[in-house]
Amino acid sequence: MEGSLQIVDVNKFEALAVHERLAALQAAGNEDRKLLIRVLAPDDAADVLQKATREFREQLLLLLDQATRAEVIALLAYAEDVAGGLMTPRFLRLRPELTIKEAKVYVERQIGAGQASTSRYIYVLAVDQKLLGVLSARELQLGASTARVEEIMRRDVITVHDHLDREAVAHVYNSHAYKALPVIDADGRMVGVLTADDIVGVVQAEATEDMHKVGGSPALDAPYLQAPLRAIIPWRAIALAILFVGETFTASALGYFQDEIAKHVALTLFMPLILSSGGNSGSQATTFVIRALALGQIKLRDAFKVFRREFIIGASLGAILAVLGLLRVLGWQFLFNMYGDLYMTYALIVLVSLIGVVLWGSLVGALLPLIIKACRCDPATSSAPLVATFVDVTGLIIYFEVAKVLLAGL
């Protein structure tokens, strides 16, 4: 292979996804392999090796220079989806006792070696690698030459532990505007840094997971068209079956109101309309709250604020839909004389139960994710279909109880 061709390969190689990089390495000759694997930053190399067979992994490790090999081996010890598996082990570092003038020279030397994943922050470490503080590049530039690093560094650094899972990492990252997060091990030693490069994939993957869950199925990790059907069908079936069993309570509830239905068949006409309105307002509320929790915009302690907010919203939405429902019943009555003598009572039943069901749907949708979070589970489990199922069962009871009261004696 010629020099120019190799360079094209390196370029292309950098643009590939992890499994494509692995395939390219398998296809390459030994010299090219060495070139390609050395192009990757240690965290990217570790991602590829993670996917390789044990034997091929050993081969590839031998192609790395000694320093990188040690870094990659350390990274391979972490699960892929924890801070340690996402971070890069290369960052700018300083000792606390250096003067700013000395520090600038050290930092330039480290940048020149091309090792740092970010040059925005410089971390101050003790001899035992414990993280003492942080300086931004700008602070280093502004600092007086004779001041010591420890005098101007910031000591209250936001850090994450190396075994923290990616969802929690994304939370910490979202909760402030720093552009890098230092990762420390159980002994407080800094082992790496997370930058936006490492986080952007996490943020995507977490959003995908939440979206799938909100849609009412377990999260799918592989791309949609690549995931094997034998993996998709059982998971989606289990989720649907659970919802189905929940929804069978509607059949039981309806059985309980069978006498009212037999006497007033017109009541069944509005049943899907009223139940779906409750489910839809619940679906709106639950996705808002799930997303706000994921972005750290609301916490569990905001539960009362959320309740108050959705109470006002739900009551307003219920009132608006109730008016529409009233107009629908009266309109069709005048146009087609569809509902007989009791049309005014039916219109009132629709009006009152829409307010109740929509308000109830909003409250259930908003509070269910908070309750699930309080139980230390993933709030995204409160999916739109789960809320709709719950509101179907309880909404039916609201609807027919309202009907029973308003039809009493008729």
Q: Which positions from 104 through 133 interact with a copy of itself, judged by CB under 8 A?
A: 108, 111-112, 114, 119
15 lies in the binding site for a copy of itself (CB under 8 A): yes
**Shortest distance, CB of residue 189 to a copy of itself, whole angstroms?**
23
Query: Which of 324, 344, 377, 405: binder of a copy of itself (CB under 8 A)?
Result: 324
Q: Which is nearer to a copy of itself, 185 or 401 (CB)?
A: 401
The answer to whether the beta carbons of residues 104 and 140 sit under 8 Å apart is: yes
Give 47's Cβ-side CA count (13 Å radius): 18
330 lines the binding site for a copy of itself (CB under 8 A): no
Stretch that binds a copy of itself, among 86-94, 172-180, 185-193, 401-409 (CB under 8 A): 172-180
Site for a copy of itself in 18-47 (CB under 8 A): 35, 39
Distance, in Å, from the CA atom of 263 to the CA atom of 260, rounded to the nearest integer, reads 5
Cα 351 → chain centroid = 38
Q: Within 353-372, which residues bind a copy of itself (CB under 8 A)?
A: 358
Residue from the set 88, 110, 250, 381 that interacts with a copy of itself by CB under 8 A: 250
Stretch that binds a copy of itself, among 50-58, 85-93, 171-179, 368-376 (CB under 8 A): 171-179
The Cβ of residue 299 has, within 10 Å, a number of other Cβ atoms equal to 11
Pairing type for strands 190-195 and 180-184 reads antiparallel
Window 56 to 85, contacts with a copy of itself (CB under 8 A):
none
Cβ closest to a copy of itself, residue 75 vs residue 380: 380
Beta bridge partners of 121: 136
Stretch (H or E) spanning 266: helix 266-294
Counting contacts by CB under 8 A, is residue 255 touching a copy of itself? Answer: yes
Q: Find tokens 């499994």 and name the residue.
A: 19
The structure tokens listed for 21 are 């990089």
Q: Considering the complex, state which of residue 177 and residue 186 has its C-beta at the smaller distance from a copy of itself.
A: 177
What is the closest distance, in whole angstroms, from the C-beta atom of residue 190 to a copy of itself in the complex?
A: 18
Neighbours of 286 (CB within 10 A): 27
Paired residues of 135 in beta bridges: 122
Rounded Cα gap, residues 190 and 95, in angstroms: 13
Size of residue set near a copy of itself by CB under 8 A: 121
Q: Which of residues 49, 131, 164, 290 is near a copy of itself by CB under 8 A?
A: 290
Contact pick of 150, 179, 307, 378 for a copy of itself (by CB under 8 A): 179
Binding flags for a copy of itself, 198-217, as an x/- string (CB under 8 A): -xx--xx--xx-xxx-xxxx
| First CA to last CA distance, the chain | 92
Distance CA 366, CA 282 (A): 7
